[in-house]
Amino acid sequence: MYKKINYQDYLRLKDEAVIIDVKDEKDYLVNHLDKSINIPINKIVSILNIVKDKNKKVIVYCSNGKRSYIAARSLINLGYKYVYDLDTKK
């Protein structure tokens, strides 16, 4: 299941989900959400080593939504069941 979510949805889901920031490391160090894990989009497959339970809720985000959409689709293709794409555009 893929779903685009807003910030209010994020607040409701964040305690039961793994939060993945798909920006590059430099941008992640400048600004990121608390408790997020940085997995740049070009390394998204490495999530298999971090989140082994594919039934775990996963929230992905970036700065403009393009990379997070690609990451979300990749996670669905990898078999993750609950993938949420946080809309961070203002």
* H or E element in which residue 77 lies: helix 66-77
* Residue 77, number of CB atoms within 10 A of its CB: 8
pLDDT, tens digit (0-9, with 9 covering 90-100), for 44-85: 999 999 999 999 999 999 999 999 999 999 999 999 999 999
The total of structural domains in the chain comes to: 1
Residue 26 belongs to domain spanning: 2-86
pLDDT, tens digit (0-9, with 9 covering 90-100), for 21-40: 999 999 999 999 999 999 99
The CATH number assigned to the domain holding 32 equals 3.40.250.10
Cα end-to-end span (Å), the chain: 25
pLDDT, tens digit (0-9, with 9 covering 90-100), for 2-12: 999 999 999 99
> What local confidence, expressed as pLDDT, does residue 18 receive?
98
* pLDDT > 80? residue 90: no
| 12 class by beta-carbon count within 10 Å (0-12 exposed, 13-18 middle, 19+ buried) | exposed
Beta bridge partners of 4: 85
Look up residue 24 and give its DSSP letter.
-
> What local confidence, expressed as pLDDT, does residue 89 receive?
79
